[in-house]
Homo-oligomer: A and B are copies of this chain.
Amino acid sequence: MRDIYHEELDGLSDRLVEMTRLVRQAMTQAVTALLDADLRLSEEVIGGDDRVNKIDAEIEETVFDLMARQQPVAGDLRTLITTLRMSGDLERMGDLAVHIAKTARRRHPESAVPPELTVTVLEMGQIAERMVAKAGSVIASRNVEMGLELDADDDAMDRLHRRLFDVLLSPKWTHGVEPAVDITLAGRYFERFADHAVHVAENMVYLITGQRPAEINDLSD
C-alpha cells in the first residue's frame, strides 16, 4: 500500500515538472508573439493554457484523494500541501504568459514593444524562461543549489523592470499613452511571473532542506 502511495507522490512531482515545461514554452512563445506581433503564436499561447489548468486540477484531485485514503504523516502531508502550492503558482504563471500573449494580440498588427525596449523585453523573457526552467530542475532533481539561484534572477528581473520605467518616463518617450499602458502591464506580468517562480523554488528548497533559501544564502555569505 505504501509503495503505491509513494509512486503516486512521484507521479505528482512528474506532473509539476510537466507544468514547468508547458509554462516555459508558453512564456517563450508569448515573448516572441509580443516582440514580433505574431497573432498565430499569441492565439497558441492563449489556447494552450487549458493544458496547464487541467494538470493543476488533476494534481489537486490526486492530493485530496491521497489525503483522504492514506492519512499521510506530517512529512508527507507537508509534501502534499507544498505540491498544491507549487501547482497553484505554476497555474498562475501560465495565466501571466497568457496575459502577455493577449497584450500582443490586442496591438496586432503593430508590435506592443517600441524599438528602444526590444532588448529589455527580450531579456525579461529570457530571465523568466530561465527561472521556470530552474524551478523545474529543483522539482525534478531536488537540485537545491539551482533553487538558491532564483533570488539573484529575481533581482535581475527587478533591474530590467526599473529600466522599463526609466524609458517610459523619460522625456525622450515619443510613443504616447497606449504603448506606455501596454508596457506597464507587460512589465508587471513579467515581474509577477518571476515572483511565482521564486515561490516554487523556495517551497521546494524548504521541503528538501527544512530551510528557506534566504536563510541558506545568508549562511554562505
**A residues within 8 Å of B by Cβ?**
64, 67-68, 71, 73-74, 77-78, 81, 84, 165, 168-169, 173, 176-178, 180-181, 184-185, 188
Q: How far is the CB of A202 from chain B (nearest CB, A)?
A: 14
What separation, in Å, do the CA atoms of A84 and B83 have in the docked complex? Answer: 13
Given contacts A169-B181, A181-B165, A181-B169, A68 and B64 within 8 Å (CB-CB): no
Q: How far is the CB of A93 from chain B (nearest CB, A)?
A: 15
How many chain copies?
2
Among A73, A178, A181, the one with the most B-chain Cβ atoms within 10 Å of its Cβ is: A181
Give 27 CB contacts A-B under 8 Å. A64-B74, A64-B78, A64-B81, A67-B74, A67-B77, A68-B73, A68-B74, A68-B77, A71-B71, A81-B81, A81-B84, A165-B181, A168-B181, A169-B177, A169-B178, A169-B181, A173-B177, A177-B177, A177-B180, A180-B180, A180-B181, A180-B184, A181-B181, A181-B184, A184-B184, A184-B185, A188-B188
Q: Which 7 A-B pairs have the closest CB atoms?
A: A68-B74, A184-B184, A177-B180, A181-B184, A67-B77, A71-B71, A180-B180
What separation, in Å, do the CA atoms of A165 and B176 have in the docked complex? Answer: 14
What separation, in Å, do the CA atoms of A71 and B73 have in the docked complex? Answer: 7
